[in-house]
């Protein structure tokens, strides 16, 4: 009974504060473009590689990759669609064919693509086809956008391994498709978990993502 009461309490908080990845509009934090330029100026991109994923609300996809040693930077944005220069409101409301996505810039000498894939799987529900957790719709689909044939083969191999593991009763439905383009999201969405930690943590819990990850992977992931 206590667990039921706790669950109801979380849901009430979730509804009361409008905790949806699409519930926040722009102009909440100052523009940090200068910081971006400063960071880009000191990063040697020549020997780095990129990986792209969609995993539901992009706020929750950034922290786990930021924690990885060998990941140089991450950006949240939009990918998987055909429309040019989409805005957050357009994507989040389902007006485009894009999904909320993340760009992971990493050093292959320090971290493998397989390790990055492992982190992706731990943070999504690969059996959910209509979105991710409380966020429903194509704009919240889970997907791996591979860059080149090597990434494609590794992504497909990771799906096969996951299927054969017997961890999931339902089929793996996460999409694997060729990367086309990535549009960075608005500044106030970048590192949202740092800028708005209270709302972020309430959202992660209320959306069902946190509980699902802990139940599915037990202690196989660090807390934010």
pLDDT in tens, 132-189: 999 999 999 999 999 999 999 999 999 999 999 999 999 999 999 999 999 999 999 9
Average pLDDT of the residues in 6-19 = 46
Number of CB atoms found within 10 A of residue 111's CB? 18
Token pair listed for 220: 């196989």
Determine the 3-state secondary structure of 100 from DSSP: strand
Per-residue tokens: 169: 């009763």
Average per-residue pLDDT for the chain: 86
- What confidence score (pLDDT) does residue 20 get? 57
Selected residue with higher pLDDT from 20 and 123: 123
- pLDDT, one tens digit per residue, over 24-48 is 444 433 344 445 444 445 677 889 9
Residue from 104, 124, 111, 105 nearest 56 by CA: 124
| CATH code at 36-194 | 3.30.1060.10
pLDDT of residue 59: 97
SS3 74: strand
Q: Is there a catalytic annotation at residue 57?
A: yes
The pLDDT value recorded for residue 2 is 43
Among the ranges given (2-6, 33-37, 197-201), the one the predictor scored with the smallest mean pLDDT: 2-6
pLDDT band at 220 (very low <50, low <70, confident <90, very high): low
- Token pair for residue 194? 């740092």
Coil, helix or strand at residue 71: strand
Question: How much is the average pLDDT of 51-66?
Answer: 98
Tell me which of 57, 61, 104, 213 is the catalytic residue.
57
Q: Say yes or no to pLDDT of 13 above 50.
A: no
Compute the distance between CA of residue 204 and CA of residue 191 in angstroms, rounded to an integer.
14
Beta bridge partners of 178: 146
> Which pLDDT score, from 0 to 100, does residue 23 have?
57
Angle among Cα 207, 125, 20 to the nearest 5 degrees reads 20
User: Would you say residue 3 has pLDDT above 50?
Assistant: no
| Length of the chain (residues) | 224
Q: Which two tokens stand for residue 90?
A: 């357009």
Cβ-Cβ contacts under 8 Å for 27 (sequence gap 6 or more):
188
> Residue 120 above 50 pLDDT?
yes
- Model-wide pTM > 0.95: no
Count CB neighbours of 24 within 10 A.
18
CA 10 – CA 2 distance, rounded (Å): 12
């Amino acid at each position: 009974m206590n667990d039921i009461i706790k669950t109801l309490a979380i849901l009430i908080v979730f509804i009361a504060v409008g905790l949806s990845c699409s519930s926040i509009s722009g102009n909440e934090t100052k523009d940090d473009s200068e910081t971006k330029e400063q960071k880009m100026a000191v990063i040697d991109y020549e020997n780095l590689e990129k990986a792209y994923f969609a995993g539901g609300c992009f706020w929750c996809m950034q922290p786990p990759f930021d924690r990885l040693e060998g990941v140089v930077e991450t950006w949240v944005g939009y990918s998987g669609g055909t429309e040019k220069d989409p805005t957050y409101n357009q994507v989040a409301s389902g007006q485009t064919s894009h999904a909320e996505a993340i760009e992971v810039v990493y050093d292959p000498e320090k971290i493998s693509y397989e390790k990055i894939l492992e982190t992706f799987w731990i943070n999504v529900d690969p059996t959910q086809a209509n979105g991710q957790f409380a966020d429903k719709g194509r704009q919240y689909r889970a997907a791996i956008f591979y860059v080149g044939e090597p990434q494609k083969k590794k992504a497909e191999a990771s799906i096969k391994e996951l299927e054969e593991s017997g961890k999931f009763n339902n089929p793996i439905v996460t999409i694997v498709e060729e990367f086309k383009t990535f549009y960075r999201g608005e500044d106030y969405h970048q590192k949202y978990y740092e800028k708005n930690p209270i709302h972020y943590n309430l959202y992660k819990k209320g959306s069902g993502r946190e509980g699902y990850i802990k139940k599915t992977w037990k202690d196989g992931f660090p807390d934010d």
